[in-house]
Structure 1
Amino acid sequence: MQTFNTIKLAQQLLFAKVNKAKILVDATAGNGKDSLFLAQNSPIDAIIWSFDVQQTAILNTKELLSKYSLDDKVKLIIDSHENIDQHINGKIDVAMFNLGYLPNAQHQITTQYQSTIAALQKILGSLSIGGVISIIAYSGHQEGYLENKAVQERLRSLPSNIFTVGCWSMINHSNNPPILYIVEKMRGEAYESATPH
């Protein structure tokens, strides 16, 4: 049991932004909890885009949303989040990533750092002023370790005159607890979203 639930913390930190957002993204649909949070707490005319490569995840998300009569508010996309620019035009106000593998499913199928960084780059380039991104990373397995390292390096290099980046983790736990990153776009200067080489 974790005293601080990282997913709930991310939702609390994003809550005020979600209340006013028009375009929102759940970059990793999973079992639909972030999609439900976004749908329940955003304006009635907001649109949520929810991505996952696994059919099971999309079906689980649809089932959860239907339970709350919110399935019409969310566009469920069976595709990698790295192709987000093929689906969304316009500025993104809120985006959430919950990396790793789908709970209660095959652990061999997990998010990959290459596609995660590509998706993050595209969202950073489309983020509205005042827009926010939350990323929950898990470093307890090999791909998760690589993914967290890549995410941290990318976020650390963001220009501080445009973005503010925070990081939260439990520092006295030895079981590789999740790490939460929050990114906010503070100013409207142009940001080159191409992946650096």
Structure 2
Amino acid sequence: MAEAIRSRTSATTRYRTVDLVTVAMLGVALGVVFWGWNQLFAVVSGTALFAFPPSSGLICGVWLLGGVVGGLVVRKPGAAVGTELVAATVSALLGNQWGMSVVVSGLIQGFGAELVFAVFLYRRWGVVVAALAGALAGAGEAVYEWFAYYADWSFGYQLVYLAFFVVSGALVAGVGGWALVRALASTGALDAFGPGRDYHARTAVSADHDQA
């Protein structure tokens, strides 16, 4: 029994070449998305809709997608951090208004998502876990930004920013990332990973139910 448990654990944590390639590819793709969002954020956050400065946290969840999506797809320790870090690095290399400091943000955001997946022992991948991963990634980033960018804000402003960032992380990165992975799985693109196997298992059960 102990040997069987060790074997399952090893299979769960051991990286295949396809896992490493996928972390890199997801990171690069999302890094380009981050870069595009950087440009849009500079415009949108300055509009009257966000005249209350902390409210910009409501549109920050996009930058947390790397950790959530990478973790949900590869489902191995380090995938969330790795994907988010690659994405942040690509975003930095393409150019942005914050410079290389976004790499630090990527590390913090990825670690936040990673911590949630680790708490569930890399065995739970539902929408609630994804939302928690996005929320904790957002919380970590918001606290970092208190000191890096918004040290002149009052503590009340900082707390509101934290709350908005957490909500955006849970909904945009968490629920949105989970929905994105499900959509990709339905195309067959993730057949080599857990989400692809889950999709085929669901469709098989649905087919059996219809036949019954």
The interval holding the TM-score normalised by the smaller chain is under 0.3
TM-score (norm 2): 0.26
Higher relative contact order (CA 8 A, sep 6+): 2
Larger Rg: 2
TM-score (norm 1): 0.27
Report which of the two has the higher share of helix. 2
Report which of the two has the higher share of strand. 1
